[in-house]
Amino acid sequence: MINFEAIRKKIKDSITPFCPICRKRYLSHKHCNLCNKNIIIKINYFEAIKRNHFEHNIYELSGLDRLNSPFVCGKCFSERNYTRCCVTGKPFYSLGNSAYIWNCSDKRKLMSPYHIYSKQFNNLSSEGLDIVNNAYSKYVEELHNFIGGTKGEYIKGYSIDRIIRRIEVNGTDCKNPGEVEDILKKYCVQMGGNGFIKFFWDKKIEFIENTYIAGYGKKGNPYYKTERRTEAYFVGHAESVVFSSNITKKTRDC
Ligand SMILES: [Zn+2]
Ligand SMILES: [Zn+2]
């Protein structure tokens, strides 16, 4: 009696080679040369990754040129694809992108809106992340070294090296002129200043009208009441400047 099942298996085995990675006989297929795992089903990303590495002048460095008939899976492509750091300008592995860490950090928010590193980055290497973290430490230090703000045009003992620009505090958040000053101080340091002149603040009155259901009549109809009140808030502006100490200058001149 002919064992058809055994013959079928023999034929199948002869056309389905044994794959040492899958550890079984399997229809002809390719594994990714980089992770040595994922099977290339549709797209071989080798050309795409090669283009990317050429673009960043690291093709030889990355060792891809030494691969024999290379196959690269989509996952490896997205992980090993190089990108340029927005801060250092140098290429780095996309996998090590630290942009999300910085974009979500409180430090970045505290440096907003004027510090050059307060914006959200698309690509940030770990080296770039170190730079922006150090910039934050420097920002905190400069807040401590702030010389001061004045309604006048100068502060005694200091000369103005540079007027940076006019800075403004609008919105309804400040409940007193001191809060306006605090925000102007932060803005000033964010843009590289250490003081401000021509400080001006103004008190604004906001009229608030709030209509609400005060109760229900006998037939169940609601009746309304309107609450009217006023709330004060403060706005202001100044010119941010870079002060230098007159005393230091005199010593230098001698
Ligand atoms: Zn396999
Ligand atoms: Zn792979």
* Predicted confidence (pLDDT) per residue in 177-197, tens digit: 999 999 999 999 999 999 999
Q: Which helix (H) or strand (E) holds 164?
A: strand 158-169
Closest CA to 245 of 150, 165, 156, 149: 156
Ligand 2 center–CA 75 separation, angstroms? 6
Q: Which ligand is nearest to the CA of 44?
A: 2
pLDDT recorded at residue 250: 45
Ligand 1 center–CA 67 separation, angstroms? 18
| Inter-residue contact 114 to 193 (CB < 8 Å) | no
Q: Which ligand is nearest to the CA of 26?
A: 1
Reported confidence tier of residue 164, pLDDT bands at 50, 70, 90:
very high
Ligand 2 center–CA 77 separation, angstroms? 7
Ligand 2 center–CA 48 separation, angstroms? 13
Ligand 1 center–CA 13 separation, angstroms? 15
Ligand 1 center–CA 49 separation, angstroms? 22
Ligand 2 center–CA 73 separation, angstroms? 4
In the numeric block, which tokens belong to residue 242? 């870079």
CATH number of 148-253: 3.30.110
* Predicted confidence (pLDDT) per residue in 204-241, tens digit: 999 999 999 999 988 889 999 999 999 999 999 999 99
pLDDT recorded at residue 183: 97
Q: Which ligand is nearest to the CA of 78?
A: 2
Sorted by where each begins, the domain ranges of the chain are 82-144, 148-253
Tracing tokens 């103005």 back to the chain, one arrives at 160
| Inter-residue contact 206 to 118 (CB < 8 Å) | no
Q: Which ligand is nearest to the CA of 71?
A: 2
Mean pLDDT of the chain: 89
Ligand 1 center–CA 3 separation, angstroms? 29
In the numeric block, which tokens belong to residue 53? 């590495």
**Calpha distance 111→136 (Å, rounded):** 7
